[in-house]
Structure 1
Amino acid sequence: MPCRQGVLGMTDALLYLSRDDIRALSIPPAAAREAVLQGFRDYATGLTRSLPKSTLTLGPGHGFQAMTAASSAQGIATVKWVAMAPVAAGSPLPAVSALICVSDYETGQPLAVLDGDEITLIRTAAISAAAASLLASANPRTIGFVGCGLQAHAHLAAFRDLFPGLTNALMLSRSRSSAERLAEAAGAAGLAADILDDADALLARSDIVISMVPGAAGMTPFLDARRLKPTALAVAVDTGRSWKPETLPAFNLLATDSLEQSRAPYGVDGNPVSTVAFQHDLIALAGAPHPTAAAGRSLFAFRGVAFADLALAHLAVAQARAQGLGTVLPR
């Protein structure tokens, strides 16, 4: 099987990229989106291999995950260790914390350790944008954010880059201060921003809705798919927990990142819902886009795949070496 030559190569030293290092790279959203799309294409053709996400669940929004992938195309293998914990509204602590280890594909020698939080932010927004590039209508004007934390800011940048014709951003959050910060960022990006208190109003006005609601004990689904515009795209970064399961049949198309990993959106109990099932995944759509997706309501709900983290880790390490960023540690 043909393989593209990776650019990282073997080294006697270990490169550490901190959160600040990765932020300093300023990875362009378009580069992240294309890296992710290529990662899905490589997986489809067998150049990249990956294990389904392994999860140890301790409670609502609380657990640990391991995500492993290897790519002959990029010449690396990666594992991401993810910790999740519930956080109170307005807390400065992240709900997700992660590290990524990078090894040489051929020799297995460690090459780099990366802060996984920033990579996860970039990767997750890039997956959402990659899906939107294949499923959304051509000229959306209004984007709605349900949940206004760090992921919302990453998605704002990714979707503003993908759809420069966006004019309006709507925010709904349990934290007023988070919504105000996102509204300020949207305004700085040239969008008219409006903070709402009513979920139905946000759904009715948005061409694209991104739900990013963290899991928490006692959470009740509150988003009604029937309130969406007839041609809206919903991206459920929260895997679907914020959507009322009984309303999900209102979607004409339901897709995820990997059907091998997920067969249906997930409910508040962490289990797949029984009201609908996914019909497509990004592995197939990246090579053959759906011809009529933009003509109806679409849902893209996903848990994240290890080979997308690999794609972003490869991009980050290559750029860091080119720019001389990071800390070189002895082996």
Structure 2
Amino acid sequence: MSIEQQSERSTLMISADELWECTDMEGAINTIEEAFTAYQRGEAQMPAKSYVELDEHNGDFRSMPAAVNDAAGVKWVNVHPDNPEKYGLPTVMGIVIYSDPETAYPLALIDGTTLTRLRTGAVAGVASRHLAPPDASSLGLLGAGQQAHAQLAAISTVADIDRVVLSDLDDDAIDRFIQAERERDIAIEAGSPNDVAGCDVISTTTPARSPVLKREWITDGTHINAIGADAEGKQELESDILADAKIVIDDWEQCSHSGEINVPVAEGIIDHSDIYANLGEVVTGSVPAVADGDITVFDSTGLAIQDISVAQLVYESAAEQGLGSEFQLVDA
């Protein structure tokens, strides 16, 4: 079934397994870079992320709409920290509704959990492509969960990584990670947070509420992708790292509220004037390139333009390959 052959009044349901058949990390990285370029040029719409707080269930829902590059849609995603222990469900789940901008017809329902993992890794790939040392060969991973796999896939796509240092409080998680990534031609070893800090590129993906990486461990020229902080009070990097770094953000409102910079902003250690650039400015060359010896930090909170641009990539590939389950969602 091609895009042309798909019924004008049908919707594709695309599962997690099918999503991985529809794209690869390099395609996602390039697509997200194009989305940030469009957003920087004023060619995309992205209303603010809205929250539905569910205090009685220790969770929330988040609605993330966007229109970018002839694509439109919304991601509906939750964060319920008690899910794994109480219900055997992931903390984060989501669905993306991808629509035809011209008619508003829902073209696809896409697994948002896997798409989120993919695009979160991919945006770190975009940032690392522009901010990491050009000769970067080592990657430090703080946290050995699902997102760590995406970080490795993305950063090894844009840099010639031959060594990975992995740190996690759970030794079994480290073992599982190494076993899952055993087919890569990359040496992966367990280490301390200090060992992670010695790498050329670092990605942090933990739920820490107190800093894990110290300023004294970070050498000049290091690039850090700060991924884990996604709520007020979360912080993985010592504030002195941010005070000494060139900070690149995806969005000021989100980052200052719930990203890696939220704690030092609340404490008055840094403010908006201390931000070097947003990622759109970096990818379009609107700001000067960072110097070789600069410490750089990319604060990633996740934007809807990422979700919807990747959803478009996934949908078009699925339609061309005959993937996904076609069904009638709208009775018209």
TM-score bracket for this pair, using the shorter chain length? 0.7 to 0.9
How do residues 71-82 of structure 1 correspond to structure 2 at under 5 angstroms? 71=68, 73-74=69-70, 76-82=71-77
**Which residue is equivalent to 1:282?**
279
Q: Is the 8 A contact 2:40 2:280 kept in 1?
A: yes
Matched-pair identity in %: 23
Q: CA deviation at 1:54?
A: 1.7
**Which residue is equivalent to 1:109?**
105
Match of 1:246 among 222, 239, 252: 239
Q: Distance in 2 between matches of 1:305 and 1:7?
A: 30
How do residues 52-71 of structure 1 correspond to structure 2 at under 5 angstroms? 52-57=48-53, 62-71=59-68
Greater than 6 Å deviation, 4+ residue runs: 6-10, 267-271
Corresponding letter in the other structure for 2:130: L
Q: Distance in 1 between matches of 2:18 and 2:127?
A: 28
Q: Distance in 1 between matches of 2:293 and 2:117?
A: 29
More helix as a share of residues: 2
Match of 1:256 among 249, 253, 263: 249
Structure 1-normalised TM-score?
0.86
**Which residue is equivalent to 1:162?**
158
Q: Is the 8 A contact 2:95 2:112 kept in 1?
A: yes
Q: CA deviation at 1:327?
A: 0.2
**Which residue is equivalent to 1:230?**
220
Q: Is the 8 A contact 1:49 1:69 kept in 2?
A: yes
Match of 1:85 among 80, 86, 96: 80
Q: Is the 8 A contact 2:227 2:301 kept in 1?
A: yes
Q: Distance in 2 between matches of 1:175 and 1:263?
A: 30
Match of 1:33 among 15, 29, 38: 29
Q: CA deviation at 1:8?
A: 11
* 1:221 partnered with 2:211: yes
Question: How many residues were matched structurally?
Answer: 316
Q: Distance in 2 between matches of 1:61 and 1:144?
A: 32
Match of 2:168 among 169, 173, 180: 173
Range moving further from structure 2, 269-278 or 227-236: 269-278
Q: Is the 8 A contact 2:47 2:65 kept in 1?
A: yes
Q: Distance in 1 between matches of 2:164 and 2:283?
A: 27
Q: Distance in 1 between matches of 2:133 and 2:41?
A: 28
Q: CA deviation at 1:293?
A: 4.5
Give the secondary structure class of the aligned counterpart of 1:124: helix
* Inter-CA distance 85–267: structure 2 relative to 1 (3 Å threshold): farther
Range moving further from structure 2, 77-86 or 233-242: 233-242
Q: CA deviation at 1:144?
A: 0.7
Q: CA deviation at 1:36?
A: 0.2
Cα displacement string for residues 218-243 of structure 1 (whole angstroms, at most 9, x for unaligned residues): x4322213311211011011138342
Structure 2-normalised TM-score?
0.86
Q: Is the 8 A contact 2:236 2:260 kept in 1?
A: no
* Inter-CA distance 190–7: structure 2 relative to 1 (3 Å threshold): farther
Corresponding letter in the other structure for 1:169: V
Q: CA deviation at 1:284?
A: 1.2
* 1:124 partnered with 2:124: no
Q: Is the 8 A contact 1:10 1:104 kept in 2?
A: no
Q: Distance in 2 between matches of 1:81 and 1:131?
A: 25
* Inter-CA distance 80–39: structure 2 relative to 1 (3 Å threshold): same
**Which residue is equivalent to 1:296?**
294
Cα displacement string for residues 96-136 of structure 1 (whole angstroms, at most 9, x for unaligned residues): 11100011112211111100011111111110000111111
**Which residue is equivalent to 1:3?**
none
Q: Is the 8 A contact 1:245 1:267 kept in 2?
A: no
RMSD over aligned Cα, in angstroms?
Answer: 2.8
Q: CA deviation at 1:172?
A: 0.8
Q: Is the 8 A contact 1:237 1:301 kept in 2?
A: yes
**Which residue is equivalent to 2:136?**
140
